[in-house]
Structure 1
Amino acid sequence: MLSLFAAFIFSTWMFEGRTHHFIEETLVKDANTIIEAYQSNPSAELGSFVQSFSGLSLYSIQLYNKEGAPLLEDKEPMHVQQSHIKQVLGGSIARTLDTETHGLPMVGVPFTVKGDPYALFLTLDKNTVEEEQENMPWIHALYILVLFIGSFLILIAARYVVNPITRLTEATKKMAKGTFDFTTLPTNRRDEIGQLSVSFHDMAKELAKLDQMRQDFVSSVSHEIQSPLTSISGFSKALKQKQMSDESRLRYLTIIEEESERLSRLGQNLLQLSYLQQEKHPLKAAAYRLDEQLRRVVITLEPLWTVKEINMDVDLEAITVHADKDQLDQVWINLLSNAIKFTAPHGTIRIQSIGKAHQNIVSITDSGIGIPEEELVHIFKPFHKVDKARSSSVKGNGLGLSIVKQIVEMHNGEIQVSSSLGSGTTFTVTLPREN
């Protein structure tokens, strides 16, 4: 409203200024026309000649001699200051306003007759102006009508723009309180607000997923911590009983020790996963032989696969990589430990490395129980376990593969898994090759 009102005042001021300038130029032009007409017929009496134009035009005309005295009879007196008359008699054109007639433009034009200077002044006829001013209220009313109609349309347009922003603001407040379900946002619009709404809606969905992951993570951590704590608490109370055989006491102490180690591993894995997920985690990369690293891991885990009499099929090409050796050690140990864990006695595990033009590929394949197809998309999520009951017969807290995936991605590589239930699993790690 303020902008429209200011624009109305400014445009009116500009229009009046341009109108006054146009009238002044027209008056000067017509005054020169009268002078030229007289000069073409110099035998005519000057006063009568000029007086004849006064009755035929829309102007009020007055002629002043060199003494500044008016020579024409005026129906309405023209209010000309002596300073302006002297200015024109001196040879200059005067442009001024007749303050007695509501500020109408008035001009004075000099000319000479037989060596004597004269000043010819013209202004608009007062009666004609008054007739036009009678129509001004209608024009002002029209301006005011345009002002209000324009304001109303702008209010409608502003409401069209502001309403979606208001809804987005309310949605932002709800999101700050933990609500991520928004179905009333104007996502069907094709303008910038519609694009903003679509982006906000997508962000809300992603935040909802993250919030659900956070809740699942907290739930999983709580479960993983509660289970060993329950065992430790229960067996500690049992040890307080005086009548207990040494064999039972030793068995209870062994369980408490194992559950304590389980808690320790969980804490270490959580710290490591958090450390790896830091954006500026440094890599201590160096060049070394990948095939020798894999052989050393196989030898390190020999007590685990020999006790189950597992056949190790190792086929490794000589490959040099530029990577963080300690972190990749953990990748291979974790993947091979899982393969041994889920492979039945007398089974087979195949480890293969292949060097290609732009990448190095390591695959670890076991003949174990396999993974259901619907579980493959979740296998790298923290705390995810294929055995839904979280059986204690298979040790682990579900963080190993998450750590593996994080380390591989930090090396700009990728890890894939393929499996079928009952026929084994293959993990394939692809690392970029240094040129």
Structure 2
Amino acid sequence: MTRSLYVRTVLVFIAAVIVSLVFAFVLAIHMYSSNVKSLAEGQIIAHGKKIIAELSEASPADLDAVMANAVEVPGLRVKIMDANGGTVAYGSGGSKQGTPITEAQLRLVLQGGIYRGMVSYGKDEHAGPSFLIGLPFQLGDRPYALYITPEIVRLLDMFRKFTLTVLGYVLAAGSLLILLAARYIVKPVQRLTDATKRMAKGDFGVVLASKRKDELGVLTSGFNEMAGSLRMLDKLRSDFVNNVAHEIQSPLTSIAGFSKALRTKALTDETRGRYLTIIEEESQRLSRLSANLLRLSVLQQDRELHNPGAFRLDEQIRRCVIASEPQWRAKDIEPELELDGVTVVGDADSLEQVWHNLISNSVKFAEAGGRIAISLRREDDAAVAEVRDNGRGIERDELQHIFTPFYKADRSRDFAVKGNGLGLSIAKAIVDMHGGSVDAESEPGVETRFTVRLPIRPDAAFA
């Protein structure tokens, strides 16, 4: 039961309230007692002097009556003692033995001193400890001692009971508020826990509504963002599996179909050769798909550069353009090059694949006799390479997906153009591994531009 965050929160809050109330109660009693004592002491001494004045002015014949009347003071215990320690008079608020006076207390007052101290009553009294004031006076040549004890203990008891009652109500009301507050605090956490359990079971469609602006609101927003990312990843995983199955199934179907057709004896040599060519091309397609999948998997798992070195980036791009000459010659395209001399530090083999993929991609989708422009320049501490073509282009809503594995913006040409939708994904993974970025811009029918930014390491410089 105590493992519940709700129960723990409630118990901690209630414990804190109880400790605070006990401290407040003790402090209030102490301050109240101190204030009452300091305020009452002066008034008691003044009242005692008034009693002494009345006794001093009384005639011997009226002394007993005046003394009996003087000791009757509401809220005070009054006691008059003679030099022998005998009680001469006492008020109705106490008893003849009620206020215990020690020999030292009596001697101090009879010698002319004023006594201030505490006194404890007998067990049959319900007043408890209180403070005692002793004043000296004389009637004729006989010394007397006047002792006064205020009956504030009852008042203190009433105050204690009242305070305890108030604190009890405060504790009850506070506990109720704590229960509500704890539920307000813990409920979002419980919802997050339930949502997490649902996500653990594969339900990524969880969305938590929250209008809170505090830390729990931020946590809920973060959870929703995480859930959205997981939904997207789950969809990408599902699409990835479907795409892999599709990309593998298509060439396998072709290979199986044409292999079966080759069993027909009536085929001409020309037809047989064409079928064998198709089988070979589809086999190569499967091989490229397998190699690209392996390459992409390695890049996504291992993001460290293993063979970094300084090299001329402009020369590397120029070699890639020359290597792809059969492709752009076949389309009657003459690439436009504007390459500044830039030296960078990185994995040369990996970056070479980036340029091959981008250039091949532009050549594939450029119109015959079209235009391809490749440039390289340095901007601050980065090398910026651009590959532009004037092909059909990519729609705006498709640009954000083109680096997704197996995504093909030009679906209508899937079978006319060789490719499996992994080239741009691999290129982006390699650029990311180098701490750079790759972006795409396109205006359909006008121009498509891929921009690669690579950081230049401190030991790299212009040639």
Shared fold, TM over 0.5: yes
Task: Map 1:26-45 to 2 at 5 A.
Answer: 26=39, 28-33=41-46
Shift of 1:401: 0.7
Label 1:153 to 1:53 Cα distance change in 2 as closer, same or farther (>3 A).
farther
Q: Which residue of the partner structure matches residue 431 of structure 1?
A: 454
Task: Map 1:395-414 to 2 at 5 A.
Answer: 395-414=418-437
Q: Which residue of the partner structure matches residue 106 of structure 1?
A: 130
Task: Map 1:255-334 to 2 at 5 A.
Answer: 255-278=278-301, 280-282=303-305, 284-334=307-357
1:171 to 172, 182, 195: 195
User: Deviations 1:65-116 (Å, cap 9, x if unpaired)?
Assistant: 666543433423276686x724634767432444544344422345556897
User: Deviations 1:15-36 (Å, cap 9, x if unpaired)?
Assistant: 3344344444445444543565
Task: Map 1:103-252 to 2 at 5 A.
Answer: 103-110=127-134, 120-124=147-151, 129=154, 144-181=168-205, 185-187=209-211, 189-235=212-258, 241=263, 243=265, 247=269
2:376 pairs with 1:353: yes
**1:169 partner SS:** helix
* Equivalent pair of 1:64/1:71 in contact (CA under 8 Å): yes
**1:206 partner SS:** helix
Structure 2 stretches of 5 or more lacking a match? 1-9, 109-114, 459-463
Partners of 1:148 and 1:276 lie apart in 2 by 63
Label 1:346 to 1:34 Cα distance change in 2 as closer, same or farther (>3 A).
closer
Label 1:80 to 1:326 Cα distance change in 2 as closer, same or farther (>3 A).
farther
2:29 to 7, 16, 20: 16
**2:102 partner SS:** helix
**2:87 partner SS:** coil
Q: Which residue of the partner structure matches residue 54 of structure 1?
A: 71
Shift of 1:124: 0.3
**1:426 partner SS:** strand
* Equivalent pair of 1:60/1:78 in contact (CA under 8 Å): no
**1:318 partner SS:** coil
* Equivalent pair of 1:286/1:323 in contact (CA under 8 Å): yes
Partners of 1:68 and 1:225 lie apart in 2 by 120
Q: Which residue of the partner structure matches residue 90 of structure 2?
A: 73
- The alignment yields a C-alpha RMSD, in angstroms, of 4.3
Partners of 1:271 and 1:398 lie apart in 2 by 14
* Equivalent pair of 1:88/1:119 in contact (CA under 8 Å): no
Partners of 2:426 and 2:248 lie apart in 1 by 19
**1:393 partner SS:** coil
User: Deviations 1:152-189 (Å, cap 9, x if unpaired)?
Assistant: 444444444444444343333333333344566232x4
* Equivalent pair of 1:415/1:428 in contact (CA under 8 Å): yes
**2:414 partner SS:** coil
Partners of 2:299 and 2:206 lie apart in 1 by 34
Shift of 1:403: 1.7
Shift of 1:5: 5.6
Partners of 2:454 and 2:264 lie apart in 1 by 59
For this pair of structures, how many residues does the alignment match?
A: 428
* Equivalent pair of 1:62/1:121 in contact (CA under 8 Å): yes
Amino acid at match of 2:79: Q
Amino acid at match of 1:267: S
Q: Which residue of the partner structure matches residue 102 of structure 2?
A: 85
Amino acid at match of 2:294: L
Partners of 2:69 and 2:337 lie apart in 1 by 124
Partners of 1:252 and 1:90 lie apart in 2 by 136
Partners of 1:390 and 1:90 lie apart in 2 by 122
Partners of 2:434 and 2:80 lie apart in 1 by 100
Shift of 1:200: 3.3
Shift of 1:122: 0.8
